[in-house]
Amino acid sequence: MGGTKKDIEAIGKTIDKLYTGHCTGLKAYEILKGVLGDNIEYFPTGRSVTI
Ligand SMILES: [Fe+2]
């Protein structure tokens, strides 16, 4: 499954904070990074988050 850059940017605009892993893919990650800035973080294996 994929989407156009415009589709991915539109999704990014609906998200406040996103942790993503390798399944997102580097290309989509970079598009989302352009929308979300510091509100997207790559989440590799072994990382933990306290909520
Ligand atoms: Fe994955």
Ligand 1 centroid to Cα of residue 36, in Å, is 20
Residues with CB under 5 A from ligand 1 (ion): 22-23
pLDDT above 70 (res 1): no
pLDDT of residue 14: 97
CA 20–ligand 1 middle distance (angstroms) = 9
| Closest by CA position to 24, among listed 47, 8, 6 | 8
pTM, two decimals, is 0.83
Supply the mean pLDDT for the chain.
Answer: 93
- Give me the pLDDT at residue 41, please: 93
Amino acid (one-letter) located at 31 = I
Confidence bin at 40 (pLDDT 50/70/90): very high
pLDDT, tens digit, for every residue of 14-31?
999 999 999 999 999 999
Residues whose CB falls within 8 Å of the CB of residue 29, separated by 6 or more in sequence, listed in order: 20, 40, 42
State the residue for tokens 């539109």: 10
